[in-house]
């Protein structure tokens, strides 16, 4: 009886009053002890109100039903497909929407709707993949910052591919602890490419010069990222570097001259198509024949064999680097030893010598910077000379 009176009254009531009455009826449907007949009648009235010309009425329903698992499923489905101002709370919170519903709405909805879905708790990989594939940059950012979203590695890569040129996306991703190493390397490559294009457009550097600096930055970053990677994360990074053409002799030589034997071994295993354990065992052979065989199988030019042999010998003499930072920096003594050898090696090509000279300059500057930082740090604990004299 009450529902019949409600239906009769609502036909002529103002929009604001209809919205408040609809809110009350929706709450009653959820929490009141209605008889079966009244519940059926109330649901019929709410379904009828989905056609109300005022969005305030449907918005009132959406706010009440958005978080409830007991809401009428048909009404929730209709509200989820309504205009964004009505659909957003339902898309963000409703437990009644299944993955297929959400994927379809991501594909057909606007950016605000995609963002609402990206903020959902316990977002499954399938929905995350849809946002990564077709979602706006704003939705991708919401997804990255959602600690409850599950993303497969290919979804991370797709976000980088589509939106990695945007600073907000890069910054949000790079601070994540669990970001795959391959994705981190792809982000750095995007950043290097963006900066190179910027300085060329400003006529600050030539395209060739900017390209070379960007390539060097990518190599340094790859070694840095590898120093923090282990197991499958390292393997994924190596595969990414190879697929993008970055797994070059120069990068691998840099890894060895930084004392990063993990990256060196994994790179040779990838290029030579051999198990990592087999490659590691062969590299412990001090005779040098195993190394040369691996380099040949990996497709390295003969002109680099001597540099790799000397670098490996020095690395074995000095031992492994025991810190993450140490495994990411060129070791000056190793570089100078290899450069000295190659300068007298007739087989060493000029490009290799140029690369080693760049390594020597870089390692010298890095060592000087660290020395100065240590001096400044030590000075903070030493009393000024005038204070010692006064004492």
Q: Please report the DSSP string for 41-56 in residue order.
A: HHHHHHHHHTT-S-HH
Q: Confidence class of residue 203 from pLDDT cuts 50, 70 and 90? A: confident
More confident residue, 29 or 98: 98
Q: Tell me the C-alpha distance between 33 and 41, whole Å.
A: 14
For the beta carbon of residue 346, count every other beta carbon within 10 angstroms: 6
Q: Confidence class of residue 325 from pLDDT cuts 50, 70 and 90? A: low
Q: What is the CA radius of gyration of the chain?
A: 31
Q: Tell me the C-alpha distance between 196 and 246, whole Å.
A: 17
CA proximity to 308, closest of 282, 338, 287? 338
**Mean pLDDT, residues 132-136:** 95
For the beta carbon of residue 191, count every other beta carbon within 10 angstroms: 19
- Which of 53-67, 284-298, 366-380 shows the highest mean pLDDT? 53-67
**Mean pLDDT, residues 128-147:** 95
Residue 317 has pLDDT above 90, yes or no: no
Q: What's the pLDDT at 126?
A: 95
Q: Confidence class of residue 369 from pLDDT cuts 50, 70 and 90? A: confident
**Mean pLDDT, residues 150-158:** 92
Q: What's the pLDDT at 289?
A: 75
**Mean pLDDT, residues 182-200:** 88
Q: Confidence class of residue 88 from pLDDT cuts 50, 70 and 90? A: very high
Q: Confidence class of residue 228 from pLDDT cuts 50, 70 and 90? A: confident
Q: Confidence class of residue 320 from pLDDT cuts 50, 70 and 90? A: low
For the beta carbon of residue 92, count every other beta carbon within 10 angstroms: 19
Answer whether 342's CB lies under 8 Å from 356's CB: yes
Q: Tell me the C-alpha distance between 285 and 293, whole Å.
A: 12
Q: What's the pLDDT at 99?
A: 94
**Mean pLDDT, residues 38-46:** 83
Cα–Cα distances (Å) from 366 to 23, 258, 274, 324, 363, in that order, read 66, 12, 35, 15, 5
**Mean pLDDT, residues 38-52:** 84
**Mean pLDDT, residues 131-140:** 96
CA proximity to 157, closest of 236, 252, 249? 236
**Mean pLDDT, residues 81-107:** 94
Q: Confidence class of residue 138 from pLDDT cuts 50, 70 and 90? A: very high
User: Tokens in use for 46?
Assistant: 């709410």
**Mean pLDDT, residues 227-243:** 90
Q: Tell me the C-alpha distance between 34 and 32, whole Å.
A: 6
pTM, rounded to two decimals: 0.75
Where along the chain do its domains lie?
Answer: 1-94, 98-164
**8-state DSSP, 328:** G
Residue 221 has pLDDT above 70, yes or no: yes
Cα–Cα distances (Å) from 133 to 137, 153, 232, in that order, read 11, 13, 24
Q: Confidence class of residue 347 from pLDDT cuts 50, 70 and 90? A: confident
Instruction: Please identify which residue in the block is written with the tokens 């979804």.
Output: 155
User: Tokens in use for 139?
Assistant: 């939705």
Percent of the chain scored above 90 by pLDDT? 38
Average pLDDT, the chain: 86
Cα–Cα distances (Å) from 346 to 211, 304, 343, 353, 354, in that order, read 30, 11, 8, 11, 15
**Mean pLDDT, residues 10-21:** 82
Query: Which residues, at least 6 apart from 312, have a Cβ–Cβ distance to it below 8 Å?
Result: 256, 283, 291
**Mean pLDDT, residues 342-357:** 85
Torsion sign across C-alpha atoms 185, 187, 193, 195: negative
Residue 107 has pLDDT above 60, yes or no: yes
Q: How many residues can be counted in the chain? A: 391
**8-state DSSP, 66:** T
């Amino acid at each position: 009886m009450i529902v019949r009176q409600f239906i009769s009254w609502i036909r002529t009531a103002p929009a604001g009053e209809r919205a408040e009455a609809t809110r009350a009826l929706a709450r009653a449907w959820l929490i009141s002890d209605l008889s079966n007949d009244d519940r059926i009648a109330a649901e019929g009235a709410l379904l009828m109100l989905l056609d109300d010309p005022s969005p305030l009425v449907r918005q009132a329903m959406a706010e009440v039903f958005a978080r409830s698992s007991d809401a009428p499923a048909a009404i929730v489905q209709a509200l989820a497909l309504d205009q964004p101002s009505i659909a957003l709370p339902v898309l963000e919170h409703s437990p009644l929407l299944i993955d297929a519903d959400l994927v379809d709405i991501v594909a057909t909805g606007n950016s605000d709707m995609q963002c609402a879905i990206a903020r959902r708790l316990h977002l499954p990989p399938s929905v995350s993949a849809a946002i990564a594939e077709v979602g706006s940059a704003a939705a991708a950012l919401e997804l990255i910052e959602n600690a409850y979203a599950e993303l497969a590695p290919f979804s991370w890569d797709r976000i980088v591919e589509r939106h990695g040129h945007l600073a907000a996306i890069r910054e949000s991703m790079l601070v994540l602890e669990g970001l795959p190493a391959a994705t981190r390397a792809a982000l750095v490559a995007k950043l290097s490419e963006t900066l190179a294009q910027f300085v060329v457009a400003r006529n600050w550097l030539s395209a060739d010069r900017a390209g070379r600096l960007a390539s060097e930055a990518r190599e340094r970053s790859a070694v840095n990222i590898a120093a923090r990677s282990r197991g499958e994360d390292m393997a994924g990074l190596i595969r990414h570097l190879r697929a993008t053409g970055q797994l070059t002799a120069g990068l691998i030589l840099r890894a060895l001259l930084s004392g990063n034997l993990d990256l060196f071994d994994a790179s040779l295993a990838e290029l030579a198509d051999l198990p990592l354990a087999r490659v590691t065992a062969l590299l412990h052979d001090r005779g040098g024949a195993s190394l040369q065989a691996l380099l040949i199988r990996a497709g390295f030019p003969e002109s680099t064999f001597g540099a790799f042999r000397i670098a490996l010998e020095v690395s074995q003499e000095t031992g492994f680097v025991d810190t993450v930072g140490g495994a990411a920096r060129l070791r000056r003594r190793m570089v100078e030893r290899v450069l000295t050898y190659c300068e007298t090696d007739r087989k060493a090509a000029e490009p290799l010598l140029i690369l080693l000279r760049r390594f020597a300059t870089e390692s010298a500057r890095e060592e000087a910077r660290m020395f100065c930082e240590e001096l400044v740090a030590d000075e903070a604990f030493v009393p000024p000379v005038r204070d010692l004299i006064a004492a």
